[in-house]
Amino acid sequence: MIKAFKYRLYPNKEQDVLLQKTFGCVRFIYNQMLANRMAVYEQYRDNKEALKQQKYALPADYKKEYPWLKEVDSLALANAQLNLNAAYRNFYRDPAIGFPNFKSKHRSKKSYTTNNQRGTIRLIDSKTIRLPKLKNVHIKLHRQLPKNAAIKSATISQKATGKYEISILVEWEAVIKPITPTIESTIGLDYSSRSLFVDSQASSPEYPKFYRLAEARLKKEQRKLSRRKKGSKNREKQRQIVAKLHEKVVNQRKDFLHNVSRKIANNFDAVVIEDLNLQNMAQGLNLAKSTNDNGFGMLKRFLQYKLAEQGKQLITIDKWYPSSKLCHCCGEKNNQLSLSERTWTCQRCETTLDRDVNAAINIKLEGCRILGIA
Ligand SMILES: [Zn+2]
């Protein structure tokens, strides 16, 4: 298994200086290499064969001209090159993603990745991690890495609030016995913009409204920020307030989604959900805010790995499956059902159905059919 674990990092003053320098060098080398690729392209754009033969500049090529690049972790620079290659690949695969952007000191995320080379990244004790160039850094290990986990790489980043975070990518051997689900131990979830989801047992999570409350405050503080004079001390203070509030909201939402997904993954052997294109949905129905802050996509990701760790399955069913329109009792299809109808009565078997619960049961049944346990 491969998984990333995130922790807070507490560098001392010297380490803080070096981290800032590394973020700067990574941004610099990324922008240099991007400019180089763009220049080479301009020069040979009319000669595709010659363009293919061209070699692009590497991080090492810049070290002579800019010797200060040698002061930082060279693997961080090498990873900047890999990131640029990936950005190009993504752009070629799907131009809608956009051409790689130059990184900006203020707008871009401060982050770099380094690799473990025979123990260059390792835990020294329960409060200390060894990192290339930085040496021993204070870490808050709020949870243990899996036993026998081998550290592959680490990504160190700084948030808008100034807090440091480290994401440690580890690989370990795990013996996971696959669990065979039954109809009883399978649950279906129907996405709901109001309450995140409704499940096939007719319950939905108690979605706390803290986000909306905090969001109202966030908006107020953001308006205040826009009125502050650029470059002023007050603006910087206000920017910190906004960043802190934003971070709090994001963390609360994550905690909530972790709790909900943990309960489901522990109580059921298989979970069935619809394959929703949430981005399109948010735009199409103008539900952007509720869809996004519900975080159904994030819930899906959390469920996926929490189930997989226990040998359980997440089943995704086709988004064209008419889960709302079928009567789960007799299978009759109601083609007239409109979005505003919250309950409806089946014309064939005369059962009165709650729109969301009926959809969740149908999603479960379709999942059971796919699993071969219907
Ligand atoms: Zn019916």
For the stretch 100-138, pLDDT in tens is 999 998 888 999 999 999 999 999 999 999 999 999 999
Kindly provide the residue ranges of all beta strands, DSSP E only, lying in 53-162, ordered along the sequence: 110-115, 122-125, 128-131, 135-140, 150-158
Confidence (pLDDT) at 96: 79
Task: Specify the DSSP class assigned to residue 178.
Answer: P
pLDDT over 80 at 31, yes or no:
yes
User: Among this protein's residues, is 190 annotated catalytic?
Assistant: yes
pLDDT digits (tens, 9 = 90+) for 215-249: 788 889 999 999 999 889 999 899 999 989 888 88
What does pLDDT average to over the chain?
Answer: 90
* Whether 93 and 218 share a structural domain: no
Percentage of the chain surpassing pLDDT 70?
A: 94
Q: What is the number of structural domains in the chain?
A: 2
* Whether 121 and 222 share a structural domain: no
pLDDT over 70 at 288, yes or no:
no
* Whether 56 and 81 share a structural domain: yes
Distance (angstroms) between ligand 1 centre and the Cα of 211 equals 39
Distance (angstroms) between ligand 1 centre and the Cα of 340 equals 20
* Whether 120 and 235 share a structural domain: no
Q: How many helices (H) and strands (E) does the chain have?
A: 10, 13
In a domain, 295, yes or no: yes
Confidence (pLDDT) at 174: 83
Q: Copy the structure tokens of residue 160.
A: 């808008």
Distance (angstroms) between ligand 1 centre and the Cα of 182 equals 24
* Whether 216 and 145 share a structural domain: no
On the CB side of 264, CA atoms within 13 Å amount to 33
* Whether 197 and 53 share a structural domain: no
Range ranked top by mean pLDDT from 134-143, 269-278, 333-342: 134-143
pLDDT over 60 at 50, yes or no:
yes
Active-site residue identified among 190, 199, 269, 366:
190
Distance (angstroms) between ligand 1 centre and the Cα of 132 equals 65
Confidence (pLDDT) at 275: 85
* Whether 6 and 57 share a structural domain: yes
Residue environment code for 47-69, b if the CB has 16+ CB neighbours within 10 A, otherwise e: eeeeeeeeeebebeebeeeeeeb
Distance (angstroms) between ligand 1 centre and the Cα of 359 equals 13
Active-site residue identified among 73, 269, 274, 366:
274
In a domain, 290, yes or no: yes
Which of 171, 198, 223 lies at the terminal end of a domain, its last residue?
Answer: 171
* Whether 299 and 335 share a structural domain: yes
**Regarding predicted confidence, which is higher, 290 or 90?**
90
User: Among this protein's residues, is 269 annotated catalytic?
Assistant: no
User: Among this protein's residues, is 165 annotated catalytic?
Assistant: no
Residue environment code for 348-365, b if the CB has 16+ CB neighbours within 10 A, otherwise e: eeeeebebbbbbbbbbbb
* Whether 232 and 305 share a structural domain: yes
In a domain, 208, yes or no: yes
Confidence (pLDDT) at 294: 56
Distance (angstroms) between ligand 1 centre and the Cα of 320 equals 20
Mutual angle of helices 13-44 and 74-93, in 10-degree steps: 40
Range(s) of the domain holding residue 93: 2-171
